[in-house]
Amino acid sequence: MVKEDKTKKTRIIVVDDHPIVRQGLSQLINHEPDLEVCAQAEDAPQAMSLIKQFKPDVAIVDISLKESSGMELIKDIKTSYPSVSILALSMHDESLYAERALRAGAKGYIMKSVATEKVVDAIKQILADRIYVSDKMSAKMMRKMVGAGPEVGASAIERLSDRELEVFTLIGQGNSTRKIAEHLHLSVKTIETYRAHIKEKLNLTDATELLQYAIRWVNSKTTE
């Protein structure tokens, strides 16, 4: 008769393009008696391959991967491995990215600035089938849920789709259309279409205005 293994640990994959972040999170998680990091990945293709191989229970995904989109990776994991609970990790403003990550398929969103204190709690919350966001973000989402339509004064940036926001951010970081196309593995024509949609949604008249607006926005986020 085989005894039930009561020491089985929750298996977690950490996806981040910074080795120090991966190692720090892994050490923190492995310190918990019921959690273990079974794999680490630096980009989306590696993450999908390792998820297939190791079959983790949880994926912690940085939404800003260097060679791929963390937001698209969340969508791919949700589609291909729906049983994997996803915790989005980011240095970006949660007021703009948390709801996007949840819509993409994540069960929680945590800022890197507080990850070392809260990541274990966030993992356990999503394993209990609860949504994890900060108290501030939770209150904002609740106000939006009970209100009629979008919040008064909501930023025009919030009207951009996930991919448009990604392109907009890359523009603000000084990338050319061709470089953005290479980074996102899309055609130049597709990026030009995204640029046109962004200009329309932000009421910008030309490429110069778009570039200036994007640079100001990216700089404002890095100084917050």
pLDDT of residue 199: 93
Using the Cα atoms of residue 219, residue 221, residue 222 and residue 224 in order, give the sign of their dihedral: positive
pLDDT of residue 97: 85
Could you tell me the pTM of the whole model? 0.74
Q: Which residues of the chain have pLDDT under 50?
A: 1-4, 148-154
Q: Which domains does the chain have, with CATH numbers?
A: 10-144 (3.40.50.2300), 156-222 (1.10.10.10)
Nearest in space to 12 (alpha carbons), one of 128, 177, 127: 127
The number of angstroms, rounded, from the C-alpha of 219 to the middle of its chain's C-alpha atoms is 20
pLDDT of residue 222: 58
**pLDDT (tens digit, 9 = 90+) per residue, 80-110?**
999 999 999 988 777 778 888 999 999 999 9
Beta-carbon count within 10 A of 42 CB: 19
Q: Can you tell me whether residue 121 is helix, strand or coil?
A: helix
